[in-house]
């Protein structure tokens, strides 16, 4: 499945709370995966590569704090925002949660609306287009809500794959993406696509971006992949 919708991993051992969270996050248009303990959570993080983790502090087995610490010390997972949930309201625990690397902290019982706002807030940072933000890079403007892209105020014609590729690049200008990472992000992990397919679509994207003139903003990084700028 292509990753147009951000994936939220909910780690919560209480079934009722897990269901309420999953239900509301799906209603917001997110893809949701759930785990009921720490071991399952760590497995799913590697398998699903979520865009954000909503993590309960008190879990059987590995605690939320420990999961948070592990995710924040591994290079491949440290950029994933973590929103901690806790019944503890003491300021000292809040500080401890944030010191472990959690990006935000919500005290139970929380209002679902507030939690959704916090999730969107974190996603705005890591997947701005996924929450409908307008992206700009030099003279290129991408509107994620209308799926329109312009360069120098002139509309560009992009296929759906090229649009997702450009969104990925524009969310992180300068970042070098390997073909594998692009396959994961743009095509999704369940679909088998040859890595040469990436090159084909990059070629189409380049052509579209330069269709009204202007320099090719995409950079091929030998042995590494592609980057915008
Ligand atoms: Ca719990």
Is residue 163 one of the residues assigned to a domain?
A: yes
Q: Considering its fold, how many domains does the chain have in total?
A: 2
- The reply to whether 1 falls in a domain is no
pLDDT in tens, 98-152: 777 899 988 888 899 999 999 999 998 888 887 778 899 999 999 988 889 999 9
Q: Is 109 domain-assigned?
A: yes
d(CA 219, ligand 1 centre) in Å: 46
One domain for residues 136 and 198: yes
143: three-class secondary structure by DSSP: strand
Domain that holds residue 203: 130-228
Residues 162 and 53 in one domain: no
Ligand 1 centroid to 36 CA: how many Å? 9
Structure tokens at 184: 């994961």
Ligand 1 centroid – CA 155 distance (Å): 50
CATH number assigned to the domain comprising residue 51: 3.40.50.2300
* 219 and 117 within one domain: no
Task: Let me know how long the chain is.
Answer: 229
CATH code of the domain in which 205 resides: 1.10.10.10
**Block residue for tokens 């009204």:** 212
Q: State pLDDT tens for residues 31-47.
A: 999 999 999 999 999 99
pLDDT tens, 180-218? 889 988 887 667 788 899 999 999 999 999 999 999 999
What is the distance between the alpha carbons of residues 68 and 56, in angstroms, rounded to a whole number?
10
């Amino acid at each position: 499945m292509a990753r147009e919708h951000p994936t939220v991993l909910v780690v919560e051992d209480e079934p009722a709370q897990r269901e309420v969270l999953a239900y509301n996050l799906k209603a917001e248009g997110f893809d949701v995966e759930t785990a009921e303990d720490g071991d399952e959570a760590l497995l799913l993080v590697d398998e699903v590569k979520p865009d954000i983790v909503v993590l309960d502090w008190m879990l059987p087995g590995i605690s939320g704090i420990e999961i948070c610490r592990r995710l924040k010390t591994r290079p491949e997972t440290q950029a994933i925002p973590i929103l901690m949930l806790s019944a503890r309201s003491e300021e000292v625990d809040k500080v401890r949660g944030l010191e472990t690397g959690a990006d935000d902290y919500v005290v139970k019982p929380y209002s679902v609306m507030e939690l959704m706002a916090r999730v969107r807030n974190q996603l705005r940072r890591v997947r701005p287009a996924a929450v409908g933000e307008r992206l700009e890079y030099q003279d290129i403007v991408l509107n994620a809500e209308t799926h329109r892209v312009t360069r120098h105020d002139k509309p560009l014609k992009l296929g759906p794959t090229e649009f997702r590729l450009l969104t990925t690049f524009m969310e992180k200008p300068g970042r070098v993406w390997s073909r594998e990472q692009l396959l994961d992000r743009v095509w999704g992990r369940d679909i088998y696509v040859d890595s040469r397919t990436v090159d084909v679509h990059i070629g189409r994207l380049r052509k579209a971006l330069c269709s009204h003139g202007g320099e090719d903003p995409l950079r091929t990084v030998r042995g590494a992949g592609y980057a915008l700028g």
